[in-house]
Amino acid sequence: MRKIGIFAFSIPVLASALFWWSSGPAHSDPQWVDSEVEVIAGDVSAEELFEARVEVIAMSCAACHGTDGRLRTAIPAIAGRPEALLNLQLQSFKQDRVPGATVMPRIARAYSEEELQGLAAYFAALDP
């Protein structure tokens, strides 16, 4: 058995229930974890987990927008752009409200509103 620890949950139950109730169960089922990992007690905050999740999603963005979202081609750079603008664009893609949009609506629909907002904050905070 590999020595991998899983931090114990430290998320308030009430908040979890609130999210489940508001968003449905589609993304609240932690079944991805390798069944062979060894559980070691530990604590990690909800904020840290959210930050880590946003970082993992953001890694995929780099394949079209360049490392850290800094490359300008026909596809725009996203690093250092205003957070509110990035968020508006991402939420609009998700809602299919951007006429003529090509791949972004198909991508944005895979993520929650909170994740898209987290991505907007992540890229806005990077140097352009």
Cα 68 to Cα 73: distance, rounded to the nearest angstrom: 14
According to CB under 8 A, which one of 12, 84, 95, 96 is a site residue for another protein?
12
Angle ∠(86,82,63) on CA atoms, nearest 5: 50
Interface of this chain with another protein, residues 56 to 75, rule: CB under 8 A:
56-57, 59-68, 71-75
31 touches another protein (CB under 8 A): yes
Interface of this chain with another protein, residues 83 to 112, rule: CB under 8 A:
83, 100, 102-103, 106-107, 109-112
According to CB under 8 A, which one of 25, 54, 86, 95 is a site residue for another protein?
54
Q: How far is the CB of 97 from another protein (least distance, A)?
A: 16
Q: How far is the CB of 40 from another protein (least distance, A)?
A: 7
According to CB under 8 A, which one of 81, 91, 92, 121 is a site residue for another protein?
121
Please count the other Cβ atoms lying within 10 Å of the Cβ belonging to residue 60: 11
Q: How far is the CB of 96 from another protein (least distance, A)?
A: 11
3-state SS of 44-97? CCHHHHHHHHHHHHHHHHHHHHCHHHCCCCCCCCCCCCCHHHHHHHHHHHHCCC
What is the SS3 assignment for 114? helix
